[in-house]
Structure 1
Amino acid sequence: MSDDHAKLTIREVAEAAGVSRMTVTRVMRQDPLVAPKTRAAVEAVIKRLGYEPMHAARNLSSSKPRVIGVVSQQSAATEAMGLGNEYLNILHLGALQVCNEANYGLIFFPALAEEGIDTYVRRVKTRQVAGYVLAAPSTETPGLVEALLASDIPFSAINPADPARCPLSVLSNDRLAVRQIVDEMLRQGHCRIAFAGAGSHVRASSERLAGYLDAISGAAEPRQEPIVYETRGIAFGDGLALGRRIFGQADRPTAIQCITDDMAAGVIAAAHERRLLMPEVLSVGGFDNFGLAMRLYPALSTATLPLMDMAIAATRQVRDTLDGREVAAQICIDCPVVLRDSIGPGAPVKRRARQPV
């Protein structure tokens, strides 16, 4: 490969072909959804320019770095989202397992704001890092995905809000899991089921809300009306504030599906403050199942975020790409539901007595 070819970027190929950088990426990974005419045009430009992806050239070099970077998010941001140190620890352990298997090194980048996006590109160009695993919520950092794509840097995104932007991604099936929990609430006879924690721009918010709406819209008689509470955050304090606000209302929900276990813990704390019996008067569901769920009273019914499996899968995608192997472009992993004591039968519906004629 000549030096001129080595300097070519995916941006130049896209401009020459008159398509987007994402389209070029999809052609190179043999995406079947690319139109034949577009594929032929892009492949002709790649051949004419002699373009070779950065990671392919790196694989041909004996001096390629055997280091993968994991980009997460600084602790304050993850705490605000209900994602504490347990989230980061599981993420790092999964990535480390894969790197140890293949004699790769691992670097953690927990403070994205301090690093700056240019730093991530520079670390690859100076051969400090070969590729990245981006874990939500860092996937939503403005400009990060675009910068990696423009420089043809291999990366896998864990639960990005828009998987179509990412050549490689690992997703969790949050939508199905939440539907299963809310279906259980419906089966138990609850007629006023709410969802707590909507409003965030991350994938977890939209997918988990969609699962709740799927269950509510498919409910049999009596028909359910969606009750959605938007909150600024999805941590313990947000659940506590929400519970304190709604539990004094006469028409309060009899069941609440929360976006995270941390938020559910706050809702449960507010219920205990008002001496609401659980699950006799109130049922609560959560999402994550990192460990907090079993320490609550009553033990929390929740869905398991398979973060260890996701970290392993994403790191393998990057590792195999660097080693020149075929990889699945997108992997979706189910979230097992664990039903515990926080969900029970709903209170009987009070019907207005028929007036004598």
Structure 2
Amino acid sequence: MSGNAKPTINDIARLSGVSKKTVSRVINRSPLLNEETRKRVDDVIRQTGYIPNPQARALALRRNFLIGLVHDNPNAQMVLGVQQGILSVLKGTEYELIVRPVDRGSTTLVADVRSFLERQRLHGVVLLPPISENDGLASLCLELGCRYVRMGSAELDDAAHMVASNDREVVREVVTFLMTTGHRRIGIITGPPGFRSASERHHGFNEALVAGGITPEPAWAVEGNYRFESGLVATRNLLAQDPRPTAIFASNDEMAAGALHAAREMGLDVPADLSIIGFDDTAIAAHIWPPLTTVRWPIVEMGKAAARKLLAGTIDALPEMPGDALFLSALIQRASVAPPR
């Protein structure tokens, strides 16, 4: 090497005293090497600052160094949280993240995802709810030899292919907390149909009421779509009931913010006249007034775990992560809940 010329694979082979093929095997983490040779080549790579050509590696390994994130989710905060978790794991590696939105209602969903996976030759893919609940997509990944992890609000697969949260259990805790505070008339703004998270949270809500000796009131369960506006409309409907609920559980923070806005619109004080609890613990929960009691959903940690599962065995420096499949959410008490008048 001379001047400012960048080192090549031929330079690494010459300085290491091995063949170019051996250098390639070291770079690609081939098991067909003894540890002494691997260390000698790695030391030369580190000393020279050699950076392998990603295109050449992709051709040699017949795959790209790309992790896919496939979603059809109206909750932008969830998607951003997962991205944050994945990118924190990919930082400092040669892997990059590529995000692909899809239409879960499309009749060509599986074909569209197949085309995406085949065209990009992904190392692995993270499937977000609700499409993670589609067993056909998991089977497709297996067929194409593409690693995958399904994210959900309940167990969807074996531990190597799944990260899940305990939505049903934590919502039971939320409703029990409201009943302990003195509330007996409790409404719910559910998530959209077809989302396992919406189903799990609604089931947990009803189970807690029954356990507390309260019969769920159908009129106090109003459907939302995880967006602010739906929380606003749903709360107007709930507060039009006679008698009206004294507390509302919204299945995410955006809808809870809409519920707070609707209460203020109707001249009600939160929490004196109406208690409100959300789910997610996104930034909005702590920034609105009063600060929102909510459920902290460990979405960033789930994103990290998903990325680690996809990279397992490919990056020596990547530490193992305990608690690999189930992630526990937690009730965060702030100022939006008080005993009913």
**TM-score, with length taken from structure 2:** 0.71
Gaps of 5+ in 1: 1-57, 348-357
> 3-state DSSP class of the match of 2:225?
coil
Asked if 1:250 is matched to 2:242, the reply is yes
Question: Counterparts of 1:77-96 in structure 2 under 5 Å?
Answer: 77-78=73-74, 83-84=75-76, 86-96=77-87
CA contact (8 A) 1:156 1:166 kept: no
Q: Which has the higher contact order (CA 8 A, sep 6+)?
A: 1
Cα displacement string for residues 81-105 of structure 1 (whole angstroms, at most 9, x for unaligned residues) = xx12x33222212111222244322
Tell me if 1:301 matches 2:293: yes
Separation in structure 2 between the aligned mates of residue 328 and residue 147 of structure 1, nearest angstrom: 28
Match for residue 307 of structure 2?
315
Correspondence for 1:200: 193
Partner residue, 1:149: 142
- Residue identity matched to 2:272: E
User: Deviation of residue 66 (structure 1)?
Assistant: 2.5
Opposite residue 289 of structure 2, the aligned amino acid is: Y
Q: Secondary structure at the match of 2:325?
A: strand
Residue aligning to 2:282: 290
Give, in whole Å, the separation in 2 of the partners of 1:285 and 1:89.
Answer: 22
Which one-letter code corresponds to 1:150 in the other structure? E
1:211 aligns with 2:204: yes
Structure 1 pair 112–206 and aligned structure 2 pair: CA distance change class (3 A): closer
Instruction: Name the aligned partner's letter for residue 109 of structure 1.
Output: R
Q: Distance in 1 between matches of 2:321 and 2:281?
A: 29
Q: Report SS of the residue matched to 2:91.
A: helix
Q: Residue deviations 1:248-307, cap 9 Å, x none?
A: 332111111111111111111111111112212211111011111112222111001111
CA deviation after TM superposition for structure 1 residue 214, in Å: 2.8
Structure number, greater radius of gyration = 2
What letter corresponds to residue 298 of structure 2 in structure 1?
A: P
Mapped to 1, the partners of 2:79 and 2:95 lie a distance apart of 20
Aligned to 2:262: 270
Distance 1:261 1:224, change over 3 A: same
Distance 2:333 2:196 in 1: 24
Match of 1:226 among 208, 211, 216: 216
Contact 2:133 2:156 in 1 (8 A): no
Give 3-state SS (helix, strand or coil) of 2:326's partner: strand
Please tell me whether the aligned partners of residues 227 and 255 of structure 2 are also in contact (alpha carbons under 8 angstroms): yes
CA distance in 1, matches of 2:250, 2:116: 39
- 8 Å contact kept, 1:168–1:329: no
Q: Provide the secondary structure at the position in 2 that maps to 1:268.
A: helix
Instruction: Tell me whether 182-191 or 164-173 shows the greater mean CA deviation.
Output: 164-173
Give the alignment of 1:103-118 within 5 angstroms.
Answer: 103-111=94-102, 117-118=110-111
List aligned pairs for 1:1-357, cutoff 5 A. Answer: 62=61, 64-73=63-72, 77-78=73-74, 83-84=75-76, 86-111=77-102, 117-118=110-111, 120-122=113-115, 124-125=117-118, 128-140=121-133, 143-159=136-152, 163-164=156-157, 168-198=161-191, 200-219=193-212, 223-228=213-218, 229-320=221-312, 331-347=325-341
Cα RMSD for the two superposed structures: 3.2
CA gap 1:240/1:189 in 2 versus in 1, 3 angstroms? same
Count of residue pairs brought into register by the alignment: 278
* One-letter amino acid matched to 1:133: V
Shift of 1:208: 1.1
Partner of 2:37: none
Q: Is contact 1:154-1:322 (8 Å) kept?
A: no
Partner amino acid for 2:300? M
Q: Deviation string for 1:110-155 (max 9, x for gaps)?
A: 3467996445445555673111111123324684333223334210
* Displacement after TM superposition at 1:339 (Å): 0.6
Query: Do 1:148 and 1:154's aligned partners in 2 also have CA atoms closer than 8 Å?
Result: yes
Structure 2 unaligned residues grouped into runs of 5+: 1-56
- Aligned partner of residue 292 in structure 1, secondary structure: helix
Percent identity for Structure 1 against Structure 2: 28
* Aligned amino acid, residue 344 of structure 1: A
Contact 2:189 2:224 in 1 (8 A): no
Describe the SS at the equivalent of 1:68.
strand
Q: SS of 1:163's equivalent?
A: coil
Distance 1:299 1:227 in 2: 28
For structure 1, which segment, 100-109 or 268-277, has the greater mean C-alpha deviation from structure 2 after superposition?
A: 100-109
